[in-house]
Amino acid sequence: MPAEGCEPLLQIGICDDSSHDRAALRDTLCDLPGYRRFGDLHITEYASGEALAMDVEAGRGAFDLLLLDIYMTGMNGMETARELRALGVKTPLVFLTTSPDFALESYDVEAAGYLLKPPNPEKLGRLLEKLLSPPARPRLAVKCAGRRQYCEYDELLYLESSNNVTILHLLDGQQLRCGERLNALQAALDDPRFLRCHQSFLVNMDHIKRVEEDFVLCDGSCIPIRVRSRRELTDAYYNYFVSNTVAKLPEEDAYV
């Protein structure tokens, strides 16, 4: 996670067996007008699909965007993309090539873009704007098993600190483990829906179903409430519930 006050660091991977083309693409990325609004760019270059897949499999390839040449010796770009998807990589993939022959096939690996070489800086800039601009729905970025993953705030049920790791419990039942401390993730979220109800738990109040001895969530999970601050914490939830319920009512019904 970037430190407070620092520009976000965007990890971009370039995979192309031509050193000349890699250098040209790197220069184009860094020369894009206004590229700073995307954050500081950190670009990693690979001369083959095999090297990229090896890094990813070893947990060293956490990227926000991957730019792949299609025509490479060894594994071509399409084969590399299939291998990355098989490894569970969700990172947006953009193909760069001299021919449109693989354009339709690129949909099989959920490619985010397909640009002819050399890429037009304006088109490349628009693509980065689309892929790297902050989403309308806020997301939390965490590094799990060497890979960066994104969780929308709405998907988070609660976060739990356990044995020097933080476990993110998601609505769909997934549990993501990351090395960031709960305090750091709470600061990164910085959203009123998240309540630190216990030293080891941060709960999304949007998913609280009822209050008993614990907070009972929509999936049946019971999240402990810090005993010494029970009144303060239950009041915080009540105030949040009331303010958000009123805010969502039609104007004519809000103050009935």
For residue range 116-161, what is the model confidence (pLDDT) as tens digits?
888 888 888 888 887 776 655 788 988 887 778 888 899 999 999 9
Is 67 in a helix, a strand, or coil?
A: strand
Q: How far is CA 50 from CA 18, 57, 74, in A?
A: 15, 10, 8
Q: Which residues pair with 167 in a beta bridge?
A: 160, 177
- With H, G, I as helix, E, B as strand and everything else as coil, classify residue 138: coil
Question: Does this model's pTM top 0.85?
Answer: no
- Taking the C-alpha atoms of residue 151 and residue 172, their distance in angstroms, rounded to an integer, is 12
The rounded distance, in Å, linking the Cα atoms of 51 and 91 is 17
Residue 130, helix vs strand vs coil: helix
Q: In degrees rounded to 5, what are phi and psi of residue 94?
A: -125, 125
Q: pLDDT (tens digit, 9 = 90+) per residue, 179-200?
A: 999 999 999 998 999 999 999 9
Please give the C-alpha separations between residue 178 and each of 162, 219, 252, in angstroms, as whole numbers: 11, 22, 45
Q: How confident is the model at residue 107 (pLDDT cuts 50, 70, 90)?
A: low
Query: Which residue shows structure tokens 């947006």?
Result: 92
Rounded Cα distance between 118 and 116, Å, is 6
